Amino acid sequence: MLTPTAYGLAILLNLFIIFIGVRFLVVPRASAAGYGVSAKEDGDAAYLTIKGLRDLTYGLLGLALLAFVSARAEAWYMLIVALVPLGDTLIVLRHGGTKAVAFGIHFATAVIVLISAALLFAV
């Protein structure tokens, strides 16, 4: 039972970050608002594109590790990549976002990613 749960959660998280990346590439300003820090109308859209590409790449890399390497490699990846939503928590707080978004979205995501890593290590 642990193996399907570990793999299922890892796949779900990777697909979700791919979705977020694609969303930032397609509708960057709406995505930024959902992230917790709205983009300025006259701001540089390149930074929103960078975030979209980063997230898309992280999700694809995670799926590739699962498909072609091992659960242990994915576990290490998840452990390290949990730094991203932890950093996002601080970014949202530092730049005027709400605590609800910072902790309810970003910090909670980091916790779920760490749970995924623990489950994959246990497989």
Q: Which pLDDT tens digit goes with each residue over 31-50?
A: 998 899 888 887 778 889 99
* Average pLDDT taken over every residue of the chain: 94
Give 29-38's long-range contacts (Cβ < 8 A, gap of 24+): 35/88, 35/92, 35/101, 36/88, 36/92, 36/97, 36/98, 36/101, 36/102, 36/105, 36/106, 37/91, 37/92, 37/95, 37/96, 37/97
Position 28 scores a pLDDT of 92
Between residues 34 and 111, the one the model is more confident about: 111
Position 65 scores a pLDDT of 97
Instruction: State the pTM of this model.
Output: 0.90
Position 57 scores a pLDDT of 97
Position 52 scores a pLDDT of 95
